[in-house]
Amino acid sequence: MQPFTSHTGLAVMIDSANIDTDQIIPKQFLSKVTRDGFGVHLFHDWRYLDEAGDVPNPEFTLNKPRFSGATILLAQENFGCGSSREHAPWALADFGLRAIIAPSFADIFYGNSINNGLLPVKLKAHEVRQLINEVEVQEGARITVDLTACKVTSPTGAEFSFTLAESARHKLLNGLDAIGLTLSHDAKISAYESQIPSWRS
């Protein structure tokens, strides 16, 4: 995974609560077993006017030219609710998003995001509202998410602090998924295994 230390990027908002994983990546696109190729289907039912995905919906925020290349998504409470599909953070990351900022997240989605290098940032509802308002009025508005300092900086320079479990923060800062975290202890594992009596192997 790509380490996440500090990221400044163009922000886009979907000003809705309870965005579920079936909206993030609809079930008909779950047949792939690799993590890539899901970004084109992200928010499919909202992004496109046809089932095939050939006709973009010009009214959907992510399709508007001013938000092209956005890497930070602002949303409302309970983002990622619904099923436990890991494809949801895969699709968000494959689209190019590095961080999601919302007042709250569904627990399983929150964990899946961290395990796949996507940073979920919980801020107070009024802080998210301020960020959304600033992004709405300022074309090209950029937000900085600093995981080293656990701080979000708005387009106008307002600063908001957030918290993250130290274990999750360690994984994201170092670009470690569960396998990578295990392999980071390779020396200790090897030392332990070397002490195992041969009759037990």
pLDDT in tens, 119-129: 999 999 999 99
Mean of all residue pLDDT scores within the chain:
92
**Torsional sign, CA 157, 66, 40, 132:** positive
**What is the pLDDT at residue 179?**
58
Burial 98-123 (b: 16+ CB within 10 A, else e): bbbbbbbbbebbbbbbbbbbbbbbbb
* pTM beyond 0.85, yes or no: yes
Percent of residues, the chain, with pLDDT higher than 90: 81
pLDDT exceeds 80 at position 24: yes
Q: What is the mean pLDDT of residues 142-169?
A: 97
Mean pLDDT of 79-108: 96
The SS3 call for residue 24 is helix
pLDDT for residue 188 is more than 70: no
According to the model, what pLDDT value does residue 142 have?
98
6, 150 contact by CB (below 8 A): no
What local confidence, expressed as pLDDT, does residue 182 receive?
Answer: 54
Residue 54 tokens read as 């050939």
Q: How many angstroms separate the Cα of 199 from the Cα of each of 178, 194, 195, 196?
A: 30, 12, 11, 8
- Pairing status of strand 159-161 against strand 6-13: unpaired
**pLDDT value of residue 196:** 72
